[in-house]
Amino acid sequence: MKKTIITAALYTLISAILLGIGYPLLITGIDHLLFPKQSYGELITRNNEVIGSHLIGQTFTGDNYFNSRPSAAGTGYDATSSSGSNYGSTSKALIDRVQASVTTTQNASKTPVPVDLVTASGSGLDPDITPAAAFYQVPRIAHARRLSASALTQLINDHTTQRQFGLLGEPRVNVLDLNLALDNLTTHEANPSTAR
C-alpha cells in the first residue's frame, strides 16, 4: 500500500510539473517566437505609449469619434470583469437600458439605430462594430469635424474587415483603428501640405 501511495504521489508531482509548468512555458515560448504581436495582445502604441489593443474595445465619447458598442464588463471594457449583462430578452432592466441607449444614440434622420450600438456583446469587450453601425454615425461626425460624408464613408470602407475566407464571421470595423485613422484624416484635411 505504501509503495502504491508513493508511486501515485510521484506520478502526480511529475505530471503537475510537466503539464502544469513545462508545457505552458513551452507553448508560451513558441507563441512569443512565432506570433509576437498577437501574444502580447495586439497592443497599439502612439508616441511610445500604449493607447489600446486591437482585441479589447474601449469607450469613445463625444460627437467627433465613432462610438463603440456598449459594454457590460465592469465599468466598461474591464477585462477582469468580462461578461454580458445576462438579462433575458424580456427583462425590464434590459429593455429600459436599450431604450435609453436608443434615445441618446438616435440621429436626426430618425432611421433605426443599428442593434450593436445599443446592446452589449457577450464578453463586454468587443472592439468591433458592424459597418452599418459605423455608417450610421457618419452624419454626426461629419458635422462635428467638418468633413464630407463621402470621405468618412471611404474611411469606413477602407477599415472594414470582411468575412474570414469569405464565409466565417460577419464584416466588421475595429473602432480604435477607425478613430485613429479619423484623427489622421482630420489632420491631413486641416493641413493638406502634410498629406502624402
* Residue whose entry in the numeric block shows the C-alpha cell 508513493: 6
Q: What is each CA distance from 75 to 59, 84, 102, 174, in whole angstroms?
A: 10, 12, 20, 21
Task: Identify whether the C-beta of residue 132 lies closer than 8 Å to the C-beta of residue 171.
Answer: no
Domain ranges of the chain: 1-40, 43-194
| Amino acid symbol at 92 | K
Judging by DSSP bridges, how do beta strands 49-53 and 43-46 pair with one another? antiparallel
User: How far apart, in whole angstroms, are the C-alpha atoms of residue 39 and residue 28?
Assistant: 8
pTM of structure: 0.73
User: CB 128: neighbour CB atoms within 10 A?
Assistant: 26
Cell numbers that stand for 97 in this block: 437600458
- pLDDT classification of 189: cutoffs 50, 70, 90: low
What's the pLDDT tens digit per position in 67-97? 888 887 777 787 777 776 777 778 787 788 7
* Choice among 27-31, 103-107, 178-182 with the minimum mean pLDDT: 103-107
The span from the first CA to the last CA of the chain, in angstroms, equals: 79
Task: State the pLDDT at residue 195.
Answer: 38
- pLDDT classification of 149: cutoffs 50, 70, 90: very high
Task: State the pLDDT at residue 187.
Answer: 63
